[in-house]
Amino acid sequence: MDRQALAEFLRSRRGGLRPDDVGLSAGPRRRIIGLRREEVAGLTGMSTDYYVRLEQARGPQPSEQMLSALARALRLSTEERDYLYRLAGHGAPARTPLDTHVAPALMRVLDRLDDTPALILSSLGETLAQNALSRALLGDHSAYAGLSRSSVYRWFTDPGERDSYPTNDQRQQSKAQVASLRAAYGQSGPRSRAAALIRELHKVSPEFTEIWELQEVSTRFAAHKTLIHPELGAIELDCQALFTEDQGQALLVLTAAPRSEAFQKLELLAVLGQQQFS
């Protein structure tokens, strides 16, 4: 671990960002250029003291999980992320079509979306980033770990995952999940995380096996969705997806027609967030 070089790199990247680059408000009395240390710490989920020690070249070796959070918070490119890992004494993550380092271009768009639900997904259906309104509508996906990070895996193993969709839409959603997983497998091959996920789903879900045999391949999202919120009920939304060039990640944006009932429900969610409804 090269503590001094790591500290200099972190200070440089922090100084090169502005609050609105990462979806934060600058406030009326801001005197510094760049992000504050506590702002970077908040974006990564680490303590301010821990981050300060990294910038002062006296901190412990960060874990790979912590480095991943730092790379995302500082909006690093893939090359910059790899450099960060090496400075911290870790090997750079393998570059594959299933790389989960969030594309900076997608993050820049997500940072500017605060009035409609939006999230960034990997080709395995892993939620890589969510805005506040997405968490209010769909729940906070950051708690999932292992195979459960994939929405495809949860769809076929956790009955509660289907509560967000009307019963008559669930069969089509099952087919769409499998078709997107087959597309990811085609990109990454038989030794990939996609292949491991497929093997596990064959073991636990006869429904998955039946649909897999249909040989359907697709990376498209439905243009229109009806989602069921536990307190607000059905919400009809339009769905737009922005893909990275390699199709490995997608920014999914959910919008409602102006002045519609769904639009009013999203406005209510924006006010109340994830609080309990009375």
Burial environment of residue 128 by CB neighbours within 10 A (0 to 12, 13 to 18, 19 or more): buried
Beta-strand pair 249-255/224-229: unpaired
| Residue among 10, 4, 6 at smallest CA distance from 88 | 6
Hey, where are the domains in the chain?
3-87, 104-272
**Whole-number pLDDT of residue 278:** 43
d(CA 117, CA 94): 31
Multiple choice CATH, 3-87, 3.90.79.10, 1.10.3720.10, 3.40.640.10, 1.10.260.40: 1.10.260.40
Question: Radius of gyration over alpha carbons of the chain, in Å?
Answer: 20
> How far is Cα 179 from Cα 152, in angstroms, rounded to an integer?
10
Query: Of 3.50.50.60, 3.30.450.180, 3.10.20.70, 3.30.365.10, which CATH number belongs to 104-272?
Result: 3.30.450.180
Cα separation of 185 and 104, whole Å?
A: 24
Q: Mean pLDDT score of the chain, rounded to an integer?
A: 89
pLDDT of 98 over the 80 cut = no
User: Which residue has 């038989």 as its token pair?
Assistant: 190
User: Each residue of 164-219: pLDDT tens digit?
Assistant: 999 999 999 999 999 999 988 988 888 889 999 999 999 999 999 999 999 998 87
